[in-house]
Structure 1
Amino acid sequence: MTTVRTRMTILVSSTALCFGAAMSSATAAPVPDGPDGSRAGSPIPAGPPANIDQRTHSTEPVYDYANAIRESVYVDTTMDTDSDGKNDVIAVDIVRPSETALTGRKIPVIMDASPYYECCGRGNESETKTYDENGVIQKMPLFYDNYFVPRGYAMVGVDIVGTSRSTGCGDVGGKDEIDSVVAVIDWLNGRNSAHTSDGTAVTASWTTGAVGMIGKSYDGTLANGVAATGVKGLKTIVPISAISAWYDYTRSGGVPYSDDYMPWLGGYVGHDTPACDAVRADLGDNDDDETGDYTKFWAERDYVKDARKVKASVFLTHGLSDYNVQTNHFSQWWDALAKNNVPRKIWLGLEDHVDPFEFRRDDWVNELHKWFDYWLQGLPNNVMREPMASIETSPDVWNDYKTWPATKHAVPVPLAAGKLGAVGKGTVTITDDPDLTEDDIVATPSDVIAGRQMFLSAPLPATIRVSGTPTVTLRIKADSTTTPVTARLVEYGDAKRYSGVRRTGTETCAGESTSYDDSCYFTVQKLTTQSDHGIVSRGWIDAAHSASNAKPKPLTPGKWTTVTVPLRAQDEIIPKGRILGLAVTLSDVEWTSPNDTGATIDIDLAGSKLNLPLTTGKLTAPTKLAPLDVDITTPSQRPDLHDPKN
């Protein structure tokens, strides 16, 4: 359990002993597979170390954090991304127990590779790395070192290529950034070289070579990308709110969320030099914002397509309200991992872009502890016998399930004029109105609004659970060669709904502290708002990209075609008596870049449907369309894509 304190508490102060490179001289030992026989495997320590409780099969905090070895090294690469004639070097900061170094016991590594250690900071409090007068790491952001180093782990913070103290220029999710992290894992496994700031060669003789990567947002994205290389030594990853394919982060089926995002982000986190400006200009030249197409540029940044290479286990967590890194990222990655039989576990909270350390702290720390003990220490605990999925079904109420999603099959829900759940005849028409806001679209759902078609169900006869990825199939005839199509699944009914988190003035501590590295962090309060509707899911598609993101096919004006709108993955229990609404519009200037074509489409009702992954219950159509007016009091706002991804 964590301990609670106020901000005024005085921290324990002591001086760290830096043993430095003298403790790092031999090649790392090979890492055997784990005792469970899984292909992700785990290293087995050479004899029972003193910090393991044999009764609970867990590591115990017996090592002195204040006297931990703190060292900073530079790992070599074969890249020259800034074209200066010198190979790039990757700055790596390490905190590890001094006691294991003295006894020669080899320990595993928990790694957070990030572009944010200098520019933006990590976590809810935007912590950055700090160094002593000799340039050696003092403060490592977040609680990982405070908690795990006393338990016999090394914490390694990697500045990816082109950021902070590493040299070179980053390529925003591309091969260079991924390779810069692979180079560090190779060094930890004796396959690469490194040196200190004065040029002294240094090896990682202190580690088993077993690495677990963890991180939120960009950091978790790097973990996904590195796992997709199949690099030896990476035993597990814990991606938090992470991207699985950068194409899907910047656009949805050819519909862009913003323009010139990749060069902007590269400039935000990377070195401000003419050489790196040129690299970022190249990103802008190759991102195909003009067409929205999936190209080789995006394939390089698509980790889902390489899921077959993943040999690490995966503990994935994501927020079901996350429209920064949207929920299609975890769902498509999860599905690809499942197809390749990757050992895995998933937590899904109601939250948006928030680390579970903030909203489920004690349970999260305990579960991480068991996960790393199993996959990195080889301890036979019960973490892989627990339910695979833990889902927050209402604020602070969690249910555990054997698997996710709950169903692999979507229930086809037919569309009729104004009705959801009845087979319709004829057509309805939508003419693009880019001035429509989401509030306009979901308010007064029974009214006829130009630019919107709403389909409403009868009150639900029983509680339903939507678990998986809904889609909307529309048979359309357009008067232009393409048009964006937007769909929203809305739940109507007065209730308290999750609306965000707010930082409190109370801290809890997860691990040990020193005067320069505090393990204590503010808690957050979960907020709810009384409202008469909630958005279950949203989705966008450029009609010409419906069949292929790589090879769009322009529509033939006046000819019928079928378009599928992918909504975002969801897991939500919707109570009996609520009404579901499906709102279809064309362009969306709030959630995507302005891309209206002024198109008009006809929708063939008999050839159109909502595909809803339901585990229980069903949808029926109302017998008549009674007025269903709602008062929108809390405007919905799309998160700014140009915010640092903390």
Structure 2
Amino acid sequence: MRSLQNITLWLTALIIITVSGLSAQTQAQDIQVPVIEDGQAQVIPEFEDPENWIRHDLWVETEFDSDGNGKPDRMHVAVTRPEQTESGDLKLPVIYETSPYYAGTAQPPFDFFWNVKHEIGEEPPARKAGPDVQRRGERPIISNSLIKTWVPRGFIVVHSSSPGTGLSQGSPTVGGDNESLAPKAVIEWLNGRAKGYTTPDGNEEVEAYWTTGQVGMTGTSYNGTLPLAAATTGVEGLEAIIPVAPNTSYYHYYRSNGLVRSPGGYLGEDVDVLYDFIHSGAEEYRTRNNRVVRDSIIAGGIDRISGDYNDFWAGRDYLNDLGPLEAPVLMAHAFNDWNVMPEHSYRIYKALKEKGVETMVYYHQGGHGGQPPLWLMNMWFTRYLYDVENGVEDLPRAWITREDDERDQPTSYPDYPHPAAQDVTFYLSGNAPERGTLTTETTTNAGTETFMDNVSFDGTALAKAEWTNHRLMYVSEPLSDSLHISGVPSITVKLASSKPSANLSVWLVALPWEEGRGAQITDNIITRGWADPQNHESLTESEPLEPGKFYTITFDLQPDDQIIPPGQQLGLMIFSSDQEYTLHPQPGTELTVDLDGTMLTLPIVGGNEAWE
């Protein structure tokens, strides 16, 4: 590990500032741009006053027509830049954020979500269509995000509304190709290869003469997905991205190993629900967009009956589109993000490393959102947008905020997972309906244990219970020393069901369960996962379970990096319907687990030796 306190001294010795294509001391009214200290772009006094910023908007023409009116869609774009760029003598790089949320979203009551109270594998109750979104905001301001941070440091900030939202033309597709091609068009315009216009339908052109064309993108959640989407087009001029809590696969967001599963906090949400939530575009095209996109393409693809992975989901999985991506990527996520779960960033980070793309990852221990420390973002953008050789590519690859530390004070590691992490396998001994044992000693003839599904009890209640016949719990001995888990746990479950279909949910928890004001987000749930036993052989094809027959299914839990303190016990909980995430079938399904065929694998720093 490299301590954060030594980073500044280390960088100061390393940095040799050279700027390719843009002088490190570009003069515009005797202003030095950029000003670099410790590898970071510093605030320039002449750029600090918002009264001296130029703000204007325009429409960039794309290569698609997603609202079907026979004309290429135009995206609404807003620019904020220092007044010193107006003459064209000073050209600055751009930090760009795009979003479907800027112009407003559907408002409560959210009665247009799917009803999850039905049997697994059955046709769900019809969903009520969402309300018309009331567009908010007036031109030229689309958003004020990023501006106060980056304009004073010598960057231009650009925002755009996604297709079919706000004053951007087209239709939302929630992961369709137009959501990748829209920001691509804006970047092409910033580099003089696409046309921008002063109005959505006029012919008066606007040129981006005030920029170098070097663009970086960032954003959080959906706004973090779109930088990755743009980068998968390989568009020239997109030099670096920082996706924060990005949804990198709509299948992984709304399904889990064949199971219909909601994102945390949004029970019953799906692609069509999100479409209704964001559709704030022109009223005259909404009926057509709903019919063609929502009620045809999306309705025909989401398959809430089987939950299988199909062509619709494959087309909304950015892991499948990484071929053209070359822009350096700084991923950011939280290990306790149960909305856009941490697997979303890890799967892309892992693939980009294998592809040879310059990449880095930042994780913290909180919930949804949370960008990297400003100094790290600054170094990333300064390196790739100003071409300053600040050594960021030589820094450790992984930055993880430890449990009791502030988010802007992460600990550095050579990589994630921790290079010293080794898989340790745990086995089960039963004591249902009370707690059994979790041990690294292989068990034989451990028999079977049965529990009954009952969604009336939430996961927390089941985890806290000393005994219940609605879950199985296996607990380790109390830890004599701290235990560092780093990586992706996995589980193999051999089970039989009394019905042809059943939910399967797994939580790994730390016990005793902590409650009250002093409880932290890292105290209780270590990680969790969900799967459909009907997909025990294939993610793309499920098969009904033969009641009473045993099947074996193996799947990953969510990635984690957590240090469990001494005195805690690891608890593996296996249950069926998860009240906050899965469908809610009628209680009564019995699941029987063969303990000899069931095991948990944990990536532990130091491996078996550390566990012992």
**TM-score bin (small chain):** 0.7 to 0.9
Report if the CA contact (8 A) 1:471-1:610 is conserved: yes
How far did residue 614 of structure 1 move? 0.7
SS at match of 1:102: coil
2:163, 2:321 → 1: CA distance?
Answer: 22
1:175 to 154, 174, 177: 177
Q: Structure 1 residue 602: deviation in Å?
A: 2.6
Note the alpha carbon deviations across 1:360-412, whole angstroms, 9 max, x for none.
xxxx2222222111011111113222222222222335322121111464211
- Return the alpha-carbon distance in structure 2 between the equivalents of residues 43 and 185 of structure 1: 20
Among 180, 199, 214, the residue aligned to 2:203: 199
Greater Cα offset, 395-404 or 171-180 = 395-404
Give the corresponding residue for 1:537: 527
Alignment partner of 1:426 is 2:447: yes
The letter for the 1-side match of 2:231 is A
Identity %: 30
Q: Which amino acid aligns with 1:603?
A: V
2:417 corresponds to which residue?
A: 405
Partner of 2:343: 328
Conserved? CA contact 1:293–1:549, under 8 Å: yes
Say yes or no: does 1:440 pair with 2:461: yes
Separation (CA, whole Å) in 2 of partners of 1:419 and 1:316: 37
Contact kept in structure 2, 1:69 and 1:95, CA below 8 Å:
yes
Q: CA deviation at 1:119?
A: 0.3
**Cross-structure match for 2:10:** none
In the TM superposition, residue 543 of structure 1 has moved relative to its aligned partner by 0.8
Supply the distance in 2 between the matched residues of 1:532 and 1:343 (Cα, whole angstroms).
Answer: 30
CA distance in 2, matches of 1:176, 1:428: 50
- Compared CA separation, residues 372 and 450, structure 1 to 2 (3 A): same
Take 2:522 and 2:268, find their aligned partners in 1: how far apart are those partners?
34
Give the 3 Å change call, closer, same or farther, for CA 297–42 of structure 1 in structure 2. farther
CA distance in 2, matches of 1:486, 1:265: 25
Q: Could you tell me which runs of 5 or more consecutive residues in structure 1 were left unpaired when the two chains were aligned.
A: 1-35, 122-127, 358-363, 498-526, 623-646
Structure 2 alignment gaps of length 5 or more: 1-14, 27-31, 107-134, 431-435
SS of the aligned residue for 2:149 comes to: helix
Cα drift, residue 250 of structure 1: 0.9
Which residues of 2 match residues 174-573 of structure 1 at below 5 A? 174-197=176-199, 198-256=202-260, 257=262, 258-259=267-268, 261-270=270-279, 271=281, 272=283, 273-278=286-291, 279-282=293-296, 283-356=298-371, 364-397=373-406, 398-407=410-419, 409-417=422-430, 418-421=436-439, 422-424=441-443, 425-445=446-466, 447=467, 449-493=468-512, 528-529=518-519, 534-573=524-563
Normalising by structure 2, report the TM-score. 0.81
Cα offset for 1:178? 1.5
Secondary structure of the structure 1 residue equivalent to 2:22: coil
Report the alpha carbon displacement of residue 495 of structure 1 after superposing the two structures with TM: 6.2
Whole-Å separation in 2 of the counterparts to 1:241 and 1:94? 25
**Preserved CA contact (<8 Å) 1:494 1:530:** no
Task: Output the CA distance in 1 between the equivalents of 2:137 and 2:454.
Answer: 51
Tell me by how many angstroms 1:54 deviates: 5.8
- Aligned partners of 1:405 and 1:308: how far apart in 2? 24
Q: How far apart, CA to CA, are the structure 1 residues paired with 2:463 and 2:147?
A: 46
The amino acid of 1:45's aligned partner reads L
Tell me what 1:157 maps to.
159
Counterparts in 2 of 1:129 and 1:343: CA distance versus 1, 3 Å: farther
Aligned partner letter, 1:383: V
Q: Secondary structure at the match of 1:337?
A: helix
CA, structure 1 residues 570+580, in 2 after alignment: closer, same or farther (shift >3 Å)? same
Report Cα offsets for 1:199-249 as digits up to 9, x if no partner: 311222322222111000100011122222222221111111111101111
The 3 A distance-change label for structure 1 pair 60 and 392 is closer
Change (3 A) 1:391 1:243: same
CA contact (8 A) 2:500 2:547 kept: yes
CA-atom RMSD in angstroms: 2.9
SS of the residue aligned with 1:614? strand
Figure out how many residues of one structure are paired with residues of the other and give that number. 536
Asked if 2 retains the 8 angstrom alpha-carbon contact of 1:111 and 1:156, the reply is: yes
| Aligned partner letter, 1:176 | N
Deviation of 1:413 after TM superposition, in Å, equals 1.2
The 3-state SS of whatever aligns with 1:213 is strand
> In 1, distance between residues paired with 2:417 and 2:505?
24
Q: Write the deviation string for residues 545-604 of structure 1: whole angstroms up to 9, x where unpaired.
A: 233322224434443321124321111100122111101011223322224685433322
Q: TM-score, normalised by structure 1?
A: 0.77
Partner of 1:519: none
Q: Is the 8 A contact 2:464 2:513 kept in 1?
A: no
Q: Name the structure 2 match of 1:106.
A: 91
Partner of 1:575: 565
Q: Distance in 1 between matches of 2:545 and 2:353?
A: 35
C-alpha deviation, 1:478, in angstroms: 3.2
The change in CA–CA distance for 1:533 and 1:237 in structure 2 (over 3 A counts) is closer
Tell me the alpha carbon deviations over residues 61-118 of structure 1, each in whole angstroms, 9 at most, x when there is no partner. Answer: 3343432222211111232222223321101111122323425233211110101111
Alignment equivalent of 2:144, drawn from 141, 145, 150:
141
- Conservation of the 8 A alpha-carbon contact between 1:546 and 1:565: no
Whole-angstrom CA distance in 2 between matches of 1:612 and 1:305: 28
SS of aligned partner of 1:226: helix
Q: AA paired with 1:140?
A: S
In structure 2, give the amino acid aligned to 1:53. Answer: V
Secondary structure at the residue paired with 2:217?
A: strand
| CA distance in 2: counterparts of 1:531 and 1:329, whole angstroms | 20
